[in-house]
Amino acid sequence: MPLPSRSSQPVLVDPASIAFKNVLDKLAPTDATVLIVGETGTGKEVVARYLHHHSLRNDQPFLAVNCGALSESLAEAELFGHEKGAFTGALNRHQGWFEAAEGGTLLLDEIGELSLSLQVKLLRVLQEREITRVGSRTPVPINVRVIAATHVDLADAIKERRFREDLYYRLNVAAVTLPPLRQRPQDIPALAQHFLSLYANRLGRPHLTLAENTLEALADYHWPGNVRELENTLHNAVLLTQESQIPPHRLKLIAPKSDSVTNNHVTNNNITDDNAADDDALALFIRSQLEKETPRLFQKITDALIQHAFSMNNNNQQQTAAMLGISRNTLRTHLANLGLIKSRKKELLMSGSHTASEGAMTERELRIGYQKFGNLGMLKARQSLEKRFEQQGVTVLWSEFPAGPQLLHALQNNEIDFGATGEVPPILAQAQNSSLIYVAYEPPSPHSVAMVVAQDSPIYHCSDLRGKRIAVNRGSNVHYLLLQILDEHGLTLDDVRVNYTPLRYPLTPSDFHAVDAWMMWDPLLSDAQLSGDMRIIEDGHGKVLNQQFYLSRRDFAQRSADLLKIVLDELKQTGIFIATHPENAAQLLSQELGLPQASLALALSRRQHEPRAINRTVMRDQQTIADRFYALGLLPKAINIREAVWDEGLA
């Protein structure tokens, strides 16, 4: 729910929004714990940021952690930190979310997903205002304002013994309920115009307007996905519209389907279009179906929910899982049962004893993990791999990841078969006994990574970093760049305050000053650079190579070497396309990623894109980084890079 905190934000005029903002303005200057309740997509994190931005803590960190995304085994260490040696893989003392947010605000999103054991520990933290790291008995005082958010009814969770009543009352010092978009219809025109301008500017498109019947269509729609769905709808419309005015058919709103809950009515029941916007519509529908003793009601409702969410997010599994508040593995199980993706359990591979000549070609699946930028992102946009595999019975499934460490975790856990990361993540993974193998690499691109600060920051040289807060994605290429920058200027990790947090984008003014410096990579780096919001202190030139590696698992490479060779060939052709048609490449990626074409053109110009076979020089470069990390105590054991190189990928 965007709020009018800055001139760039829309001014909301609906009475419900005005009343809600008045409540927030009273709460913001205080240190009171706030519980934000609202449907998915209403903007609970935006509200939390508004509270922080208008508080006395606005020059201190604002951090947000999704409690539903914390793994059960590591959740306590993530929240409260851990000592060196606290558990296997704990190579150094780690600062948890609470310590990282010291002096500022910590948003505990989807608080209802915390385990009962963690709820007990969180209650003590809120009461005593101190944390105890895993592996330690010494409490550490904290000064953090806590804001919690949830889309579920915690009162029901208490009744079902899934949420502690004492924690609920501790969090519920000040509770605010975000009204869904359907209850604030007067805000829709302002929000729509805001998103139109936002994405037109980002994508370098001319100013667009909405036709009168388009505005009517927006007003009549039920918006089950709330403001997030409205934003995605307008973003998509900007991408697809060539005219100066957006017609109604450019709005990809969920179309009604038989025997499922639709956007503005429910089929086969007596709920009409007029009262579908009522909050009780869903409850009335469920009650009516229960009274009718509808067979398989739970399954029907669950299936409809999964289908609509998957469609709304353009078949992106990660975004769908986030919208529904479930894990990606759980989502994949539902999608497989619905036949929307192939089940891993039922995956059929081509038997080595069968050949195409024998007519025994069976259906196969190639699962590719990719990040927002690079050859794989371009390969996905061009769809050339799908065309090449079409006649071979091979299905390509794409999964997007925010960074290399997350992608390699999925690779190790057999969620994907192939992907690309920078040079550091595979080193850390190999040291943790991952079965990954290096398949190919791309040449160095040191200018694609950098340390950046806000434009108005007083930091101009790395010598100014002592005692400063630096945000970095743990185990990424920019993590290594940070080590190199500090070493070059006679500093260590103990001389700065490192916040290990995934890079968020786009960054808000609150983000600019939440830490003193950000470690950033392309294309987010190039976009921040061209926007003028941030300045580069130092990039990777002369400090890191920043090579990109294509990776797979040893078991997959052994049985599917033919698929890997085809993928590498298509990546080679994609690299040639980028080099010979840079403008077209930037335009394609702009449509795929929603970033300005100029930013992507700059990012593409800083890299060489054709994959190459692994050679001795590349292995030596990787070994140098691995040895450095081991010497610093960042690896549990020494590793031999050559042992993880695909023999068929050697030069």
Phi then psi for residue 253, to 5 deg, are -85, 150
Amino acid at 82: H
Cβ-based neighbours of 37, under 8 Å, separated by 6 or more: 149, 150, 151, 154, 175, 176, 177, 178
CA 298 to chain centre: 30
Q: Which of 87-91, 149-153, 647-651 has the lowest mean pLDDT?
A: 87-91
Q: Which of 204-213, 444-453, 474-483, 497-506 has the lowest mean pLDDT?
A: 497-506
Closest CA to 199 of 235, 243, 227, 252: 235
Identify the pLDDT of residue 12.
79
SS3 553: strand
Identify the pLDDT of residue 570.
93
pLDDT of 563 > 70? The answer is yes
Identify the pLDDT of residue 436.
93
Would you list the DSSP string of 91-160?
A: -S-B--HHHHTTTSEEEEETGGGS-HHHHHHHHHHHHHSEE--BT----EE---EEEEEESS-HHHHHHT
pLDDT band at 621 (very low <50, low <70, confident <90, very high): very high
Identify the pLDDT of residue 286.
66
* Alpha helical stretches, state H, 447-476: none
The percentage of residues in the chain with a pLDDT greater than 90, rounded to a whole number, is 21
Closest CA to 111 of 27, 52, 177, 35: 35
Amino acid at 297: L
Amino acid at 380: K
Average pLDDT over residues 338-357: 49
Decide which of 353 and 476 is more confident: 476
Q: What is the pLDDT of residues 208-264, one digit of tens each?
A: 888 888 888 898 888 888 888 888 888 888 877 778 888 887 787 764 433 333 343
Average pLDDT over residues 507-526: 80
Decide which of 199 and 556 is more confident: 556
For residue 253, what is the enclosing H or E element? none
CA distance 393 to 389: 7
pLDDT of 557 > 70? The answer is yes
Query: Any idea what DSSP says for residue 465?
Result: -
Q: Report the DSSP beta bridge partners of residue 400.
A: 370
CA distance 323 to 319: 6
CA distance 548 to 378: 15
Q: Report the DSSP beta bridge partners of residue 246.
A: 210
Q: Which of 291-295, 323-327, 504-508, 539-543 has the lowest mean pLDDT?
A: 291-295
Identify the pLDDT of residue 620.
93
Identify the pLDDT of residue 651.
62
Average pLDDT over residues 38-65: 89
pLDDT of 147 > 90? The answer is yes
Identify the pLDDT of residue 442.
92
Q: Which of 79-83, 358-362, 489-493 has the lowest mean pLDDT?
A: 358-362
CA distance 515 to 517: 6
Would you list the DSSP string of 44-92?
A: HHHHHHHHHHTSTTTTS-EEEEEGGGS-TTTHHHHHH-B-TTSSTT--S
Decide which of 256 and 543 is more confident: 543
Would you list the DSSP string of 493-507?
A: GGGSEEEE-PPPSSP
Closest CA to 501 of 63, 111, 23, 154: 63
Task: Please say whether the beta carbons of 75 and 115 come within 8 A.
Answer: yes
Cβ-based neighbours of 139, under 8 Å, separated by 6 or more: 128, 130, 131, 132
Identify the pLDDT of residue 636.
84
Amino acid at 423: E
Average pLDDT over residues 192-207: 82
Task: Please say whether the beta carbons of 473 and 500 come within 8 A.
Answer: yes
Identify the pLDDT of residue 414.
85
CA distance 370 to 271: 43
CA distance 315 to 308: 10
Decide which of 637 and 324 is more confident: 637
Decide which of 382 and 543 is more confident: 543
pLDDT band at 382 (very low <50, low <70, confident <90, very high): confident
pLDDT band at 346 (very low <50, low <70, confident <90, very high): very low
Give 3-state DSSP helix, strand, coil % of the chain, rounded to 5: 45, 15, 40
- Average pLDDT of every residue of the chain: 81
Q: Which of 251-255, 299-303, 485-489 has the lowest mean pLDDT?
A: 251-255
pLDDT of 467 > 90? The answer is no
- Cα-only R_g, the chain: 25
CA distance 232 to 248: 15
pLDDT of 274 > 70? The answer is no
Identify the pLDDT of residue 266.
36
Q: Write the CA distances from 104 to 99, 100, 215, 265, integer angstroms.
A: 10, 9, 40, 44
SS3 269: coil
Q: What is the pLDDT of residues 94-116, one digit of tens each?
A: 788 898 899 999 999 989 888 88
Task: Please say whether the beta carbons of 44 and 66 come within 8 A.
Answer: no
Average pLDDT over residues 413-435: 89
Decide which of 260 and 636 is more confident: 636
CA distance 264 to 217: 11
Task: Please say whether the beta carbons of 510 and 52 come within 8 A.
Answer: yes
pLDDT band at 643 (very low <50, low <70, confident <90, very high): very high
For residue 470, what is the enclosing H or E element? strand 469-472
Q: Which of 27-41, 407-421, 533-547, 580-594 has the lowest mean pLDDT?
A: 580-594
pLDDT of 35 > 50? The answer is yes
Average pLDDT over residues 193-216: 83
pLDDT band at 551 (very low <50, low <70, confident <90, very high): very high
Task: Please say whether the beta carbons of 122 and 154 come within 8 A.
Answer: no
